[in-house]
Structure 1
Amino acid sequence: MFNTLKKSVAKFVLKYVPKNSIIGIGSGSTINYFIKELSNISSSIRGVVPGSLVSEKKIRKCNIPIIDLNSLENLDIYIDSADKVNTSMEMIKGRGGALTREKIISSVAKKFICIIDKSKYIKHFDCCVIPVEVIPMALRKVSEEIIKLGGMPKYRENFITDNGNCIIDIHNLYIKNSINLEKTINNISGVVSVGLFCMRKADLLLVSYADKIKEIY
């Protein structure tokens, strides 16, 4: 069922893609469906800035030009999915490990559209798992700081990010003030990026249900 919902929202979001634009694209199963849909209108866009090497490979197979973010002053639109989104349109991302590149691209985009199925839309984060990209030599130090915050750090074994770093997944950490927590974790020496997308929230959230796509601003 959820694959059907993902396909629906991936097709629906095409109407928000401006003609002759350069767009940013994240990663994940929903975005994989979006890339397939985007291939049908590839002639109407100038290119794509991919948020992961996996997405880049899929985009190249569709013969869509890849654009280097460093060549752009800004980006027309960024489209991505999320692991969880709350009613304040704050997001948790990083299950696929591409959180840092995705956070960079979203910070440059004029508009951020998040597309999800209904299972990802929740009222509060509470104790959701939070991925953190960490420089390898700082794994112990970062883990100790996470424990001080009340969380349980778990090293994601046999996983290396596109940037050559590691992932720590934070469990059992109650998220009371998500923006403050994002800042606090980002400020830990050795942290590259945290999977809380709360300072740069989505501008538009598209949630796929069996009978409709809900647009939330």
Structure 2
Amino acid sequence: MPTDLSPIDKAKFAASRRAVDLVQDGMKVGLGTGSTAAWMVRCLAERVREEGLRLTCVATSTRTAELARSLGLTIVTLDEAKWLDLTIDGADEADGALNLIKGGGAALLQEKIVATASDRMVVIADAAKEVRALGAFPLPVEVIPFGWSATARLIEEHLAAQDVLGHDIRLRMAGDQPLRTDENNVILDLHLKRIGNPRALSLMLNQIAGVVENGLFIDICDTLVLGHPDGKVETVEGGTRTEGRVDIAASANIFADLGE
């Protein structure tokens, strides 16, 4: 483990290291997308090498699949795997009921499909991602490119009836072009500030023509693993919070080139 890691990267690593301990030989495992999930993929690959685990993995994005394959993990499609034992993924926010905002990495559609095709979803994050109420992080909504501005206008109109504090909607860009997802859709980021009723908002958004999926994960997360820079790890599951610790200094050199 490089000694110059930022505190947030140390926290992400701690959560990832603890979460991959839940993986057992022979499992079918969903691999999330994002900077925290990248730490998890590295930790999982290390376990596979050291312990000889036989795993079948399904990635939630092209970039996760590329990283996993480069580290020797076996990647198949979800259609080939059919169903998963466990999915480990990050989150942009998580509240006390384990409701999530996801999609900062623009992979929310595949992430939600993979998570709901799993017996268990474990979410890993640095402790700062735990919030009292969702909404400070912009809510991603994946929409088809055709008529995206009309879709955005419909969303804005319907937000008037929702328990939110903001109504600003922005098309996510990649340079001077709209960002495209793996499914060639675009992302609208909803700057809502606070979401009073995530379930009602999720249902409303998915009823609007042009919306493919939204980044609210309701009743999907089973376990939340929160890492701290000093190696402390909190696990929240079934209303119970437990604490443990990960030895950050004893990590392997495979993390030296992970600059996320």
What is the TM-score normalised by the length of structure 1?
A: 0.95
Greater than 6 Å deviation, 4+ residue runs: none
| 1:185 to partner: Cα distance | 0.4
| 1:152 to partner: Cα distance | 1.6
* 2-structure distance, mates of 1:76, 1:101: 17
Q: What residue in structure 2 maps to residue 155 of structure 1?
A: 171
| Aligned 1:13-52 pairs, distance under 5 A | 13-42=19-48, 43-52=52-61
Q: What residue in structure 2 maps to residue 186 of structure 1?
A: 206
* Unaligned segments of structure 1, at least 5 residues: none
3-state DSSP class of the match of 2:114? helix
Q: Which has the higher contact order (CA 8 A, sep 6+)?
A: 2
Aligned with 1:205 (options 218, 221, 224) = 224
Conserved? CA contact 1:146–1:170, under 8 Å: no
Q: What residue in structure 2 maps to residue 214 of structure 1?
A: 234
* 2-structure distance, mates of 1:120, 1:170: 18
Aligned with 1:74 (options 83, 87, 96) = 83
| 1:140 to partner: Cα distance | 1.4
Paired residues, number: 216
| 1:126 to partner: Cα distance | 4.4
Against the structure 1 CA distance between its residues 162 and 208, is the aligned structure 2 distance closer, same or farther, given a 3 Å change threshold?
A: same
* 2-structure distance, mates of 1:5, 1:60: 25
Percent identity of equivalent pairs: 28
Q: What residue in structure 1 maps to residue 146 of structure 2?
A: 137
3-state DSSP class of the match of 1:8? helix
Counterpart AA for 1:162: D
Q: Larger C-alpha radius of gyration, 1 or 2?
A: 2
What is the TM-score normalised by the length of structure 2?
A: 0.80
Counterpart AA for 2:172: R
| 1:175 to partner: Cα distance | 1.4
3-state DSSP class of the match of 1:78? strand
| 1:172 to partner: Cα distance | 2.8
| Aligned 1:164-183 pairs, distance under 5 A | 164-172=184-192, 174-183=194-203
Q: What residue in structure 2 maps to residue 6 of structure 1?
A: 12
